[in-house]
Structure 1
């Protein structure tokens, strides 16, 4: 028997079977399944704009300045070490390390600034959405015949 005959036999055998489908015997024990929120009820969205603002302020007032301070301290120490090893291959290696470090610090500071901006933007966006929703709800009034007079 050749391939074509085998293939034709397999195809004819599958058409006689029940249609293929997926069946779940149970939901995932870890809360998966998509049927509801974390508590098993209806899905909900909770946000805390004040906490987002506080996190953004922490980035701005603590993390960014402390990171920049640590970077300057490391640069000073590396520059001193490069001077101490002048003329040695170690000095060139330390210069490469310093360049890599500076690039990583720039990337970290850019990432912190991006996160700070995103947190503030999210807090503002959710707050504005709340105001818009309240305004729309307040604008919906039941119609009454009394308003015709």
Structure 2
């Protein structure tokens, strides 16, 4: 390794260290800590886009790919299965593995669906909370009525 390369590696490491979060220091005096930037913010538009991506891309993809995997696995199970009274142990193992995999895909699909609903309902939940708080604050207290 040439001396110039070594100097460049050291300079890159120093630059990277100055931009990463340091865990051996106190939080800023204003409070907080960690790294929060524009990528960590959420907006109604971002939530709507995420829900749309789940609905339009992820769910159809999971369904399509799940059907394809099920078809090919079932074909393999039949090919390895007993034709003349004797079959490969692979057939039964594939069948059990496929049953487990199907359960996991159903759980994934349920999780995607609940995440999509949560992303869609967040704005409504915040609005309902705001309206409820405003209604409670606008009521007259006993002191005001005296």
The two structures share one fold, judged by TM-score above 0.5: yes
- Residue of structure 2 aligned with 1:49, choices 40, 44, 47: 44
Which consecutive aligned stretches of 4+ in structure 1 deviate over 4 angstroms post-superposition?
28-31, 127-133
Deviation at 1:124, TM superposition (A): 2.1
Aligned-pair Cα RMSD in Å: 3.0
Write the deviation string for residues 99-145 of structure 1: whole angstroms up to 9, x where unpaired.
Answer: 01100100100110111111112122234556778xx5xxx9xxxxx
Q: Structure 2-normalised TM-score?
A: 0.58
Distance in 2 between the 1:123 and 1:99 partners? 38
Higher relative contact order (CA 8 A, sep 6+): 1
Contact 1:50-1:123 at 8 Å conserved across structures? no
Distance 1:82 1:70, change over 3 A: same
Match of 1:88 in 2: 88
After superposition, residues 21-100 of structure 1 pair within 5 angstroms as 32=27, 35-36=30-31, 47-86=42-81, 87-100=87-100
Q: Structure 1-normalised TM-score?
A: 0.57
Paired residues, number: 103
* Structure with bigger gyration radius: 1
